[in-house]
Amino acid sequence: MSILPISKAPQPDEAEFNAFFPSKFSLSQFTSAKSDLEGADYPQPYTGTGRILVIGTDERYLKMENGTLFSTGNHPVETLVPMYHLHKAGFEFDIATVSGNPVKFEFWAMPTDDEAITGLHQAYLEQFQKPLKLSDVVGALGPDSDYVAVFVPGGHGPLAGLPFSDEVGAVLRWALDQDRHIISICHGPAALLACTPAVDGAAFPLPGTRSPPSPTHPTA
C-alpha cells in the first residue's frame, strides 16, 4: 500500500494530443464502483406504446480555456440511473445523436460493480453504438409521434455540441409544442440553448423563465 498522496494531476488521454482524463484524486473522490440507485420499484408500470427519445452526445472532447481538451462524454450514472428507473417504470427507448455516431461515455465514471447499471448499458449497447441520426428523427416527428418524453442525460459532453444543434432545438420545440415531457440532469439542460434566437432564430420557448444567454463555443 502506497503512503504517497494520490496524484491531483490530470491523466493524459493518449488517444488525442493535449487531452486529459480527471486526476486519480478526483476519481477517488467523485466516482464510485456502485451507484446510488434505489427505489426503482414500480408495481404498476406503464403498459402503453409510448417511447422515450434519449439524445446522447457524440462529442468526446471539451476544450478548456487553457487550450487543453477534457476527455468527456455522457456521465454513465447520469445517463443509466434515470434510464433504469424509466425502464423499470415500463418505458423503452430510442437513442439518437446529432451525427448518428456512437454515444460517448465518461467510462472513467462507470460504476463497474453495479450489475443493474452495467446490465442496462449492455442491454442497450447496440443502440448506444449505432444510434439514430437526430435529423432523421426530426424528419419523422409530428403530432402522432409516439415519443412521450425526451431525455437529455448529463455529463460534460453535452456542453460541446448539443447547444449548437438545430436538430436538438427542433426536437425540444416539438416536445414543448406537443405537450411531451423533457427530462434532463446536471449539464444536460445546456441543450436548451439550442432553443435560443442565436441558434434557431426563434424566441426562447419557456415563458416565465429567464432566457439563457446565447451560446458561444465552450472553452471551459
For the stretch 1-57, pLDDT in tens is 456 688 999 999 999 999 999 999 999 999 999 998 999 999 999 999 999 999 999
pTM equals: 0.91
Average pLDDT over residues 78-105: 97
pLDDT at 180 over 50: yes
Tell me: pLDDT of 214 over 60: no
Over 90: is that where the pLDDT of 211 sits?
Answer: no
pLDDT value at 212 more than 60: no
pLDDT of residue 132: 98
146-173: pLDDT as tens digits: 999 999 999 999 999 999 999 999 999 9
Mean pLDDT of the chain: 91
> Mean pLDDT throughout 199-217?
69
**Residue 61's pLDDT is what?**
93
What residues are labeled active site? Answer: 186
Which has the higher per-residue pLDDT, 95 or 209?
95
Nearest CA to 78 out of 26, 46, 31, 22 is that of 31
> Would you state the cell numbers that stand for residue 200, as one nine-digit string?
434557431
Assigned C-alpha cell, 175: 416536445
